[in-house]
Structure 1
């Protein structure tokens, strides 16, 4: 084995040869590209306008209420939006498992951490949309993220409602005119 981890691999001569074989640093890059410790990216597709990340959650598969033994029923794909990266929209296709509790015979989906409960977006995307909507138009944000303007409007409405609960404006009990402003008017005083 060489001094560098990439020495044991042949340098790819073309793009198809490079994409055909995964190098160790490439696999590490895939798992960390989203900066989510609770998800592992298994595949990354890049188009002209999008990054499509296929991945799965890293969870123990325990019943949310009891520590019962579970069996996996099926695993549908859930599409979740994330922050734009390198000027491209990011879509996460997560394999979410559906479990069957052997004790109570109820089925439930695995809990997706870092995903907003109201919409299929990450928490950081929801916060980013709220902050950007203070400065930019809803249409430009919707185009950059890949959602419709109504979604941006609803996210902004929730963001403003949250701000109203946390930010309090203090106003004086009474206001009086300034003597300087009155005296600066010609013909007065």
Structure 2
């Protein structure tokens, strides 16, 4: 059963140690497969376990079950520099109560909604949703853009009816979020896209833009045409 749950969880280098189901909530106790961790102070590997530290984080659901991970973030002691340190977990940030992929899923929901509605639908507060937005922008983005061929540009309403928006950039083929822009201003979006580099921009074959966003930009089409003069651009 543990092997099956580990495969279903599908987090690299993570194993499910035990599970507990309470109604529609599935609690999975997880830890890293490796028995050692690299000391951030001196760079040496340590297998000397100093302490187990467990805490709960939200993850993507499995079917109709809400998934909570009981994460063991182990604390090691380095025999070289004598310092204690927490192991690095790639799937969750330090002191965060949700996995990176859970936050990314919440941000995707925002594309067709707003912060308040998404928070209510997922049992979160507005502050938690905004925190996930910031977390994705700082710690998950940017991602590898080598396979980007079709780009989607859309907007997220932060507060319904108050005209506060941010812009999201999406890889249409994979459905992955690849960029966040704090304001829906042409130069802000242009700067983010330029930061990807000329090689990435040249490989893009199609751009799809939200109509509301397009009407906000007086020169929206001109911005894209500067990058893809002969490309297939749809609005």
**TM-score normalised per structure 2:** 0.53
Larger radius of gyration: 1
Cross-structure match for 1:163: 180
Relative distance call for 1:153 and 1:76 in structure 2 (3 A) is: same
**Displacement, 1:136?**
3.0
Cross-structure match for 2:81: 104
CA distance in 2, matches of 1:40, 1:55: 6
Cross-structure match for 2:44: 67
Structure (1/2) with the larger strand percentage: 2
CA distance in 1, matches of 2:10, 2:109: 21
CA distance in 1, matches of 2:132, 2:44: 35
Higher RCO, Cα 8 Å, sep 6+: 1
Point out where structure 1 has 5 or more consecutive residues left out of the alignment: 1-25, 174-189
Give a deviation string over 1:129-151, Cα, whole Å, max 9, x none: 11101213435533554432311
1:70–1:102 Cα contact (<8 Å) kept: no
CA distance in 2, matches of 1:52, 1:143: 22
Point out where structure 2 has 5 or more consecutive residues left out of the alignment: 138-165, 168-178, 182-188, 195-216, 224-235
- What do you get for the CA RMSD once the two structures are aligned? 2.8
Give a deviation string over 1:138-165, Cα, whole Å, max 9, x none: 3553355443231112323565474226
Cross-structure match for 1:56: 31
Answering whether residue 3 of structure 2 is matched by residue 42 of structure 1, we say: no
Answering whether residue 32 of structure 2 is matched by residue 32 of structure 1, we say: no
Relative distance call for 1:37 and 1:70 in structure 2 (3 A) is: closer
Cross-structure match for 1:134: 111
Relative distance call for 1:44 and 1:139 in structure 2 (3 A) is: farther
Relative distance call for 1:68 and 1:138 in structure 2 (3 A) is: closer
Give a deviation string over 1:105-146, Cα, whole Å, max 9, x none: 111011112213573322211111111012134355335544
Among 107, 113, 120, the alignment partner of 2:90 is 113
Relative distance call for 1:53 and 1:144 in structure 2 (3 A) is: farther
CA distance in 2, matches of 1:96, 1:53: 14
**Displacement, 1:34?**
0.6
